[in-house]
Amino acid sequence: MEGDDKDRNIRILHSGVLTPLRRWGTKWSLWPCHFVTSCCGVELAHAFACGFDGERLGTLNMGISRQANFIIVEGTITRKMARALRIVWEQMPDPKFVNVIGACGQRGGIFWNSYNITRPSEIVPVDFFIPGCPITPEGLLRGVRAVQEKIEGRDRTTIKFKTAALPSEEGKENRIPTTAKIFAPTPAIRVDVPKEVDWDFGREMVKNLKAQLGDVYKSITITDKNRIAIKTTPENLVKVARKLSDTMGIDHAKNVNVIDVPHERKFIVEYMVSSYREELMPVIITIFTEIGREAEPVLSSLTALWESGDYSEREMHDFFGIRFEGNEGMNRKFLLAPETETPLRKDFKLEEERYVLEDGTPFAPAIELPSDLKMPLSEGLLEEAEKSDDFVVLIGPHHTGSGHLRWIMRMKGDVIVDVIPDPGYVHRSMEKLAENRLYIQNIPLFERANISDPINMNLGYVRAIEKALGIEVPERAKYIRTMMAELSRMGAFFYDSGIFSLFTGHSTGFMYVWAIREMILEAIVRMTGSRCTPSFIIPGGIRRDISDDVLNMTSNFTSAVNKRLQKFEDIFIYNPVFVARAKGVGVLTREEAIRYGIVGPFLRASGVDYDIRKVEPYEVYDKLDWEVTTGDAGDCLGRYMGRYEEIKQSLRILKQAVDALKEMPRGDVISEEVLGEYKEASKDIKGHLFHAYGNLVLPRGEWTSVIEAGRGTLLYSILSDGESNVPYRVRVVTPCWMNLRGIIEASKGERVADFWTIYGSFGYFPPEADR
């Protein structure tokens, strides 16, 4: 903003008497303010945990802006968050320093043309930029050192390039190629493209459905195995839903999706619903209808039947401007900043890539900053709270215990009356960006949704593509994928354990699991070359085979982890104080858990035996020996213990997968079907990634994959028009987004301090929820 000068702080330090003391004191006492804005926060935590221990340099992480003098901006600053960044910066006492880590905070990284990001350097004066996505802990500490040196008076970039001469023999003038993306001019959009599959149960079911629904449906199609699409009219939507709910026991909505088809002047609204009745578990029924493409079309909400669709409906209201009659959240922007208008409509255009460097600066779109610094509360909230004598506290988005979203907590004394979430502080518009990128380019994009569980994020997306193309993955690649997915699941659990222990005030628990995470990351970096964002799984297999050394190391890990895990158990899990804190708190019964749409281990903790790895097995989960863990308690401790037991099962799976891999002869790791002409690359994609995948086009139709990610059901739904090499629409429903509702419902009526126990027990990861 105007008037900010990045050297002002240095001048403050160098003025007045005792300058050397001022400089020395500040140099060794840079306390970073806790500004975890997105995924780089995971690596920040690694930098300050036992693996690298940033405290060595005198940088003690401090949650409170008044007492800190250093902001480490961890990646994306969205429009909503921009306000918080400026406020926090202004709250801090002089002299203060700002480092920006991660590409998102510089020129946007993979989100460079997103509608919801801003550049921190335009909001606050930035001292140093550290590249990476995410940065490594070393990079972060290098940034700290750079600031220390700047305080001493040596302000410098820590890399020096040498300029070499380029070949200068005269060549011919060349034409600049056009974009690699192919868009169909009038895409043919159809959600229910029929497919012949070997699925008798489905055909039977369609027959029954037709009989039961009578005249309220338009058509019923089998689109894939375990996938049925029911077309209906907007008026009959509720009737169809009610019939399904009453007669078949369809009890939850997995997804609410809207597809904009401007050239046909319509929106397709679809609900993907399913049931936790055992025989129906793998089946996903898509109920869809078409409504006119107006400024604010109206459709009746299905939240009365399936509350689990509540937040997704609100999200669709933000994205497309569709009003769901009957949903209470239609009066305010839920996920987006107030100034953003219906960005997912097709006429909202993003900046296109430029492939030629012009005038010496890389292309980055102009970004407008939010004009005011206040995020509005919903109307009448404060007045109402005052009337009922409640105390309202705003927690976050910058708060040690908030994560990157805002919680509006109403309390009466020490008891929580209501918690209202205000998400979207890390909403980076992945769904919109995915519509403008090649299929292959979306792999790193979706991985960024959750870098504490990157491989599952990656796997889910790739599986949707494979499903569409009907590719069989080579055996070896399947085992490697399973192995990596389990490592990633453990990574997610240990991440959540760490955050949980911090939320209950136990920093040792955090450090102990972070040491284990450091081991997992070491295994992943040796396999893939990247600590947190491997982008390793590609359609048809994996990028390359992994070495025997790494397999041995992973195998050793399964037993080496026990020593540290035992200590963690003693000091944290079975610590009587922790048990007292978590036991009997935030109970969700089986019915409540299903109604609010909780997924994954948190649903299993309430007694639902639903794990996609068993229900609809993928990769090699059906060949390995392991068990699903469930529980009945449904409280914070139950949820946590359930996940802990699940990790022990993961270790079992990991061990078996590694053993199988060690015995397996080396062979292809990428399916030749997808490589086509480039089948020599089936052992290592190096050199041929773009050749083989650049022009990947999916068959027409909607392709939905569900997998069991670290925190629960992860759903990807890709809609392809059959001609473009970019998806027409990608809908991703992440487990954290579904679990958000659970946190709120479990918190009501509990003590204020319990909120953090509940929040921690749900392993909520805001970037994953906001996408």
Partner 1 sequence: MKKVTVPEQSLGEKVVKHAAAIRVAMKESVYPLTATVFYPRERKKMPDNFRGYLMFDPDKCISCWECAFVCPANAIQMKEAPNKRYYPTVDYGKCIFCHFCVDSCSGGALKTTKIHDVAYKDMGEMLTLTEEMIEEPEIIREDKKLVEYEIDEQDLHLKRTREVDTLFVEVTPPVEIPMVSQCIEPGSCLGCRICEEMCESGAISSIIERQVIKMAIDRDKCTGCGLCVKECSMQILRLVRK
Partner 2 sequence: MIDINTVITGLGIEGNQVSVPLIQQMLDLLPEIPMIKLLISFILWKPFFAALICPGFATLGILLLFFPWIERKLCGRIQWRVGPHEIVWWLGGIIQLLADSLRFLFQEVIVHKDAHRPYFLQFPFLTFIPALLPLLFIPAGNIVAIETPYAIQIILAVICLFPLFILGLGWASNSRFAFIGTVREAFMYFAYEVPFIIAVLGMIILYGTSDPVGIANKQSIWGIILNPVAALTFFIAAAMATSRMPFEIAEADQELAAGPHVEYSGIAFGLIYVLCYEKAYVLAGLMTILFLGGGSGPEIAGLGDLSGVIWFLLKTLIVLTTLFVLRTIYPRYRLDQGLSIGWGAMLSLSLIALALSIALAQVGVI
Residues 396 to 415: which contact partner 2 by CB under 8 A? 399-401, 414
Q: Does 29 bind partner 2 (CB under 8 A)?
A: yes
Q: Which is nearer to partner 1, 29 or 179 (CB)?
A: 179
Q: Which is nearer to partner 2, 24 or 644 (CB)?
A: 24
DSSP conformational letter for 694: T
**3-state SS of 492-559?**
HHHHHHHHHHHHCCCHHHHHHHHHHHHHHHHHHHHHHCCCCCCCCEECCEECECCCHHHHHHHHHHHH
Q: Which is nearer to partner 2, 28 or 201 (CB)?
A: 28
- The single residue among 356, 371, 387, 665 that binds partner 1, judged by CB under 8 A, is 356
**How far is residue 84's CA from residue 250's CA, in Å, rounded to a whole number?**
42
Q: Which is nearer to partner 1, 258 or 573 (CB)?
A: 573
- The side-by-side arrangement of strands in the sheet containing 227-232 is 217-224, 227-232, 284-292, 266-274, 252-261
401 makes contact, choosing from partner 1, partner 2, none, with CB < 5 to 8 Å by partner type, with partner 2
Q: Does 277 bind partner 1 (CB under 8 A)?
A: no
Task: Give the type of residue at 525.
Answer: V
Which DSSP string do the residues of 596-617 spell out, in sequence order?
Answer: TT--THHHHTTT----HHHHS-
**3-state SS of 107-147?**
CCHHHCCCCCEECHHHCCCCCEEECCCCCCHHHHHHHHHHH
3-state secondary structure at position 221: strand
235 makes contact, choosing from partner 2, partner 1, none, with CB < 5 to 8 Å by partner type, with none
- The single residue among 515, 550, 628, 633 that binds partner 2, judged by CB under 8 A, is 515
Site for partner 1 in 411-440 (CB under 8 A): 437-438, 440
Task: Compute the least distance from the CB of residue 29 to partner 2, in Å.
Answer: 4
Number of residues that bind partner 2 (CB under 8 A): 58
Site for partner 1 in 60-99 (CB under 8 A): 99
The interface mask with partner 2, positions 83-112, x = CB under 8 A, is: --------xxxxx-----------------
**How far is residue 435's CA from residue 259's CA, in Å, rounded to a whole number?**
11
- The single residue among 231, 254, 506, 544 that binds partner 2, judged by CB under 8 A, is 506
What is the CA 70 to chain-centroid distance, rounded? 27
3-state secondary structure at position 744: helix
Q: Which is nearer to partner 2, 539 or 766 (CB)?
A: 766
- The single residue among 80, 150, 254, 481 that binds partner 1, judged by CB under 8 A, is 150
**How far is residue 519's CA from residue 550's CA, in Å, rounded to a whole number?**
12
Q: Say if residues 134 and 451 touch (Cβ distance below 8 Å).
A: yes
361 makes contact, choosing from partner 1, partner 2, none, with CB < 5 to 8 Å by partner type, with partner 1
3-state secondary structure at position 43: helix
Q: Does 14 bind partner 2 (CB under 8 A)?
A: no
637 makes contact, choosing from partner 1, partner 2, none, with CB < 5 to 8 Å by partner type, with partner 1
Token reading at 181: 């993306």
Site for partner 1 in 539-598 (CB under 8 A): 543, 553, 556-557, 559-560, 563-564, 567, 570-571, 574-576, 579, 583
Q: Does 131 bind partner 1 (CB under 8 A)?
A: yes
Q: Does 166 bind partner 2 (CB under 8 A)?
A: no
- The single residue among 7, 25, 547, 566 that binds partner 2, judged by CB under 8 A, is 25
- The single residue among 4, 24, 149, 584 that binds partner 2, judged by CB under 8 A, is 24
Q: Does 572 bind partner 2 (CB under 8 A)?
A: yes
Q: Does 206 bind partner 1 (CB under 8 A)?
A: no
Q: Does 177 bind partner 1 (CB under 8 A)?
A: yes
Token reading at 513: 């699991």
The interface mask with partner 2, positions 574-593, x = CB under 8 A, is: -x-xx-xx------------
- The single residue among 364, 381, 420, 753 that binds partner 1, judged by CB under 8 A, is 364
Q: Say if residues 682 and 525 touch (Cβ distance below 8 Å).
A: no
Q: Does 628 bind partner 2 (CB under 8 A)?
A: no
Token reading at 766: 């805001």
Q: Does 360 bind partner 1 (CB under 8 A)?
A: yes
Q: Does 672 bind partner 1 (CB under 8 A)?
A: no
Buried b / exposed e along 593-618 (16+ C-beta atoms within 10 A) = bbbbbbbbbbbbbbbbebbbbbbbeb
Q: Does 635 bind partner 1 (CB under 8 A)?
A: yes
Which DSSP string do the residues of 300-336 spell out, in sequence order?
Answer: E--TTT-GGGHHHHHHHHHHH--EEET-GGGGS-SSS
Question: 117 forms bridges with which residues in the sheet?
Answer: 78
Q: Say if residues 672 and 692 touch (Cβ distance below 8 Å).
A: no
Q: Which is nearer to partner 1, 423 or 710 (CB)?
A: 710
Q: Does 508 bind partner 2 (CB under 8 A)?
A: yes
Which DSSP string do the residues of 645-678 spell out, in sequence order?
Answer: HHHHHHHHHHHHHHHHHHHSPP---B-HHHHGGG
Count of other CB atoms within 10 angstroms of residue 467: 19
How many CA atoms, within 13 angstroms, populate the side-chain half-sphere of residue 585? 26
61 makes contact, choosing from partner 2, partner 1, none, with CB < 5 to 8 Å by partner type, with none
Q: Does 754 bind partner 2 (CB under 8 A)?
A: yes
Q: Does 461 bind partner 1 (CB under 8 A)?
A: no
Region label for 368, one of left (φ > 0), alpha (ψ between -120 and 50) or beta (otherwise) = beta
The interface mask with partner 1, positions 685-724, x = CB under 8 A, is: xxxxxxx--x------------------------------
Q: Contact positions toward partner 2, by CB under 8 A?
A: 18, 21-22, 24-29, 49-50, 53, 55-58, 63-64, 66-67, 69, 91-95, 391, 393-394, 399-401, 414, 501-509, 511-512, 515, 571-572, 575, 577-578, 580-581, 751-756
